[in-house]
Amino acid sequence: MVFQFDLAVTPNHGSHILLPGDYNITIKFAANNLSPIIKKYNFVIADKWHDDERVMLQNNISIKELK
């Protein structure tokens, strides 16, 4: 099982694909009419799979904003 970010531009080196694990991710949000905002998140992907998307997102994937 892998988690794949859906990006506007897909990198050639595969950094948009995550294996199960515990990740800290920094995202910079920016637009023409917005000053850049940097947010940090802890992203945990369990090494389990469930066919029901709702169960999968509730039990096997965790995203928490870091302060």
Residue 55 placed within a domain: yes
Q: Enter the tokens of residue 59.
A: 């039990």
Residue 31 placed within a domain: yes
CA 12 to chain centre: 18
Residue 8 placed within a domain: no
Q: How many domains does the chain have?
A: 1
Q: What is the pTM of this model?
A: 0.72
Query: Residue 57's pLDDT is what?
Result: 84
HSE-CB at 26 with a 13 A cutoff on CA atoms is 3
CA distances from 60 to 12, 13, 44, 47, 57 (A): 27, 26, 8, 8, 6
Residue 7 placed within a domain: no
CB-CB contact of 17 with 1 (8 Å): no
Range of the domain at 43: 20-66
pLDDT in tens, 4-56: 989 999 999 999 999 999 999 999 999 999 899 999 999 999 998 888 989 98
